[in-house]
Structures are given as structure tokens and as C-alpha cells.
Structure 1
Amino acid sequence: MNKLINRRGFLQGSLVASAAATVSLAKKSEAATFEGYPNAMGVLVDLSRCVGCRSCEAACNKEQNLPAPAKPFNDFSVFDEMQHGQKRRTDETRYTIVNRYDIPGREHPLFRKIQCNHCQEPACLTSCFVNAYTKTPEGAVIYDPDVCVGCRTCMVACPFYIPTFRYSSAFHPRIMKCVFCYDTRLTKGLPPACVESCPQEALTFGRRSDLLDMGKQRIRENPGAYVDHIYGEHEAGGTAWMYISPAPFEQAGFDVTVPKEPILNYVKDFLSIVPMVLTIWPALFAGFHLLATRKDKMEQQKKNENEGEV
């Protein structure tokens, strides 16, 4: 009976804590916006140079130890695949993909690489009530699966629809997305594996501020060759991955309606009046997850004690 009461008390406490976290998030949104780390790194993608070779996909797959794809990386029939009327998107088995866009009036198709854009002020981070996300000084937005409770609010919050959920594991909630090769390369001063593998030099790695200068210089020195805009300079408050394109961005599948300000700026009022019902499911997920984790730890501790007595 005491155990049952304790669990009920725990879950009630989780609800209260979740409500408090919502209020805290609303207060945090009132603070001055964060404009990114001054020395953060980034990548400039030149769509006029990409030939759709998918070398970046293969490099990412190897670097991150992801499952082998259903079709090999030299099979270009994937460009014709559609899912629910949409072109391919990233998921739990692939952190980056390349899609083809056939644009009227252009002799050759345009290819676009898609991955997490590593926003300056990430909506996934500000929407996460358990602080599973971190924006690093190097520019990457990384994720801690050990604290994630599977509420998936980050998937809803992301203006680029990037985070995906690992549905193949019901008891180990985890969001899957590009991590900018943070642990294996970025912290060592190395470019992401996808950048290093690009044979056409369509991807340029460097300090974000320098990449902006480079992109503007290419646009300025090649009149008519590029749209006079760097996608990612201001979208959603700015991103680490930025693009220049020879064709209108909407024709290459970009969402040109993404606001120029951080997403957080548009939900300040909403966050202050979030109804209690929106906090119930995350709290229950948190409760079940922590209870299961606690049970596993207790069993392991008991096993260790028994082994010590032998």
C-alpha cells in the first residue's frame, strides 16, 4: 500500500513539476534573446555545385554507425521516391538525405542536402521541459537521450521538421537527428564527415561569420547566378547550416515562410497560458520512465550486493 501511495505521490509531483516547468519556460522566454556564440562554426551549402552523388549520405551513415539503407547509396532511384506525397526526409535511420528538384526552365535538376540546421536559438531546445538539448559554443545542437522522456514536443516545435522519433524502441525513447558530428569531429576542429566527403566542394565548413561573408561575395561576384539571399542567415533567428541557390528557394523545397525571428519570440504569450492538460502527458511519460529506471537500478544494486556476499 505504501508503495502504491508513493507512486501516486510521485506522479502527482511530476504533474506539479511539469506545470512549474511550463511557467519557468514562459519566464525564460521574457529574457533577452540569445544570438548565438560569436565563434560558432557552420556550413555553407552551394546548391549550384551539388550533383546528387549522395556521398554525404554514405559518409554520415558510416560516421554515425547508422543501419545500412534499403537501397545502396549509388542507387539514384531514391530521388523518385515519395512518402505521403512528400519527398524523402530524415528519420531514425538517416540523419541527412539529398533530394532532387526538377525546376521548369532549368536544363539540369537542382539537388538539396537536408539535415538538422543547428539553429542559433533552437526551438527544440526552448520547447524541451527536461533540457535534453544543448546549443554548444561550437555551433552544434546536441541531444541527451538519457533525460529524454519521449514527449516529442521538439518535433512539433522545429520549424524545419527535422527531429524524428525512434518508434522501433518503445521502452527507450530517443529523438534521432544530425548532431554535426559533435563528439567525433567538431570538438576536434574537424569538419563534419558529410562535408569532408563532398567531391564537388558544395559544402564549405568554417566560422559562421566567415561563411556569411563568403556567400555574399559569391552572390555579388556572380550577378544572376544566385538568388540574392542566404537561406539561414536570418531564418528562425539564424542557423549554422546556410544555403545559396541559383533558383528560388521555394522551388528547391525550402519553406520560405519560416519567420526571420527565433520561434520562441512567437510563442511567449502562448507559453504563459498553456493549459494544464498539455503538461499531463509529458509528466506521465517522465513518471513512467523514471520509475522504470529506478527499478532497473535497484535490481542491479541488489545483484551487486548478492555477488559481494559470495
Structure 2
Amino acid sequence: MAKGVLVDLTRCIGCGSCAVACKLHNGLEWDPEKPIIDEKAVLAGENWTVITSHVVAVKDREVWRFVKHQCLHCLEPACASSCFVSALRKTPEGPVVYNEDICVGCRYCMLACPFGVPKYEWDQQFPRVQKCNMCFSRVNAGQVTACTVVCPTQALRFGERDALLAEARRRIADNHAYVPAVYGEKEYGGTSWLYISDVPFEQMGFK
């Protein structure tokens, strides 16, 4: 069964452990000019995961909410469809993976992605397209993603996508504070990363 991750935004405290784990696991460089935890943090060649902060209204009071951003690993990825050399492909396990050895640098994937995820290494002599690969080596070995392992509040839950979707619906049914929708269930054909929240998704920058 295809894997996925359920992100419960009501449990995220914005600690950034997931973003740090992503860097360490993938050997990504640190760039102080490109923060991984910030209200304006954006994905970059060396930042495959970032956390953005938002001040939003919940029941007539202002609260902080934090959103983890990374590749959503679409069920029918436009990036892979647009790649004429198949450098990007959807795996049966769930992750959308990238083969830098056959990439020709056309960057069609960057234009095709509805979430604007893939980033190009413009400053490198031999640039690559960079994005979260959902820890494919770990997932393929039966392990969970690095970001999920370190989350101290269990805001991230790894598992089979169908089971995660059922869990998301159960939480929403049990607690009416949640928005009655699972982001990623159907958006752009559905994604392997699923989000639930007590704040309307559009208030936190979701497309």
C-alpha cells in the first residue's frame, strides 16, 4: 500500500525539528539567509522542508499556527508527467523521486508543479532540481520518514495513506473544532501528504 504522512496542524508547535532532521538526513547545507523557520520561509535547493508561522483567529481570539511545507508527493504528479526523460517518477511506495543522472535541466517540472515545490540550483556549476524525496531510502526499507521520527508532539504521523485518511476523518468527526476537510484528499488529484486543521487552510497560504 502507498504510504503517506498525516499532518495535524493543531499539534504543531513550530519547533523546526522536522526541518533540521531533513537537512541532517539528506546532507543539505545551511544558509543563514534562507531560514527554515520563519513567517516568510520558503523552499529552496538546500531547504526541502520549512516551517511558516501564522497569526490567525480562532473563536474570536488570535493564536499562532505553524505549517510544515515540503513536496506533497501527488498521487498523479504533474512534475513527473512533464518530464520527458523520466527523471521524476512516482513510486508505488508513495514518494515522488528524482534521478539527477538523467535530468537535462529543462525545468519543466518547476512550471508544472501546482504547488511550486521543485527548486533549481542556479548557483551550481552542475545544477540539479531539488525537493523532498519523502526519505525514499527509508520508506523503501520499511522505515518512517526522518521528519516524522523527531516530531515531539506527534503532529506528523507516517503510515498507509488510506489508513491516514481514515484517521483524519475520525479526528474531524470526534472534534468539531477541526475544519471539516482533509487537505490533500482530492486537491490536484490527491497527495500523499494530508493536512487537518482548526483554521481554514486558505488563511495559512494553502492553494
Say yes or no: does 1:194 pair with 2:194: no
C-alpha separation in 2, matches of 1:106 and 1:153: 43
State the partner residue of 1:134.
89
- Counterpart check, 1:231 vs 2:190: no
Q: Structure 2 length as normaliser, TM-score?
A: 0.95
2:196 aligns with: 244
Higher helix share: 1
- Structure 2 residue aligned with 1:220: 173
Among 105, 115, 132, the alignment partner of 1:178 is: 132
Does the Cα contact within 8 Å between 1:50 and 1:202 map onto a contact in 2? Answer: yes
Partner of 2:15: 53
Secondary structure of the 1:121 match is coil
Q: For 2:95 and 2:51, how far apart are their aligned partners in 1? A: 21
Letter in 1 for 2:49: T
Structure 2: where are the runs of 5+ without partners?
none
Matched residue SS, 1:60: helix
Partner-residue secondary structure (3-state), 2:123 = coil
Cα shift at 1:72: 11
- Tell me how far apart the structure 2 counterparts of residues 88 and 161 of structure 1 sit (CA, whole Å): 14
Distance 1:161 1:216 in 2: 27
* 2:183 match: secondary structure: coil
Cα deviation per residue 1:36-67 (whole Å; 9 max; x = unaligned)? xxx10000000000010000011001000001
Output the aligned Cα RMSD: 1.6
Once the two structures are TM-superposed, the CA of residue 106 in structure 1 deviates from its matched residue by 3.9
Kindly provide the CA deviation profile for residues 71-105 of structure 1, in whole angstroms up to 9, marking residues without a partner as x: 798xx9x524xxxxxx2211111100000011134
| 8 Å contact kept, 1:43–1:240 | yes
Matching residue's letter, 2:38: F
| Distance of 2:67 and 2:157 partners within structure 1 | 14
Alpha-carbon offset, residue 107 of structure 1: 3.5
SS in 2 for 1:102: strand
Q: Deviations over 1:185-225 (max 9, x none)?
A: 111111110011100100000000000000000000111x1
1:146 maps to what in 2?
Answer: 101
2:70 — aligned with what?
115
Q: Which runs of 5+ in 1 are unaligned?
A: 1-38, 81-86, 256-310
- Cα deviation for residue 177 of structure 1 reads 0.1
Q: Contact (CA 8 Å) 1:148, 1:173: kept in 2 or not?
A: no
Please tell me whether the aligned partners of residues 34 and 41 of structure 2 are also in contact (alpha carbons under 8 angstroms). no
1:120-164 CA deviation, whole Å, 9 max, x = no partner?
Answer: 000000011111111111100000111111111100100000000
Provide the rounded CA distance (Å) in 1 between the counterparts of 2:92 and 2:120.
26
- 3-state secondary structure, aligned to 1:214: helix
Over 3 Å counting, the alpha-carbon distance change for 1:121 and 1:192 in structure 2 is same
- Cα distance in structure 1, aligned partners of 2:143 and 2:169: 24
SS of alignment partner, residue 243 of structure 1: strand
Paired residues in the alignment total 205
TM-score (norm 1): 0.64
Aligned residue number for residue 52 of structure 2 = 99
Deviation at 1:173, TM superposition (A): 3.1
Rounded Cα–Cα distance in structure 2 between residues aligned with 1:101 and 1:151 = 35
Aligned to 1:65: 27
Matched-pair contact (CA < 8 Å) for 1:149–1:173: no
* Residue number among 108, 117, 120 corresponding to 1:162 in the alignment: 117
- State the identity as a percent: 47
Q: Is the 8 A contact 1:227 1:244 kept in 2?
A: yes
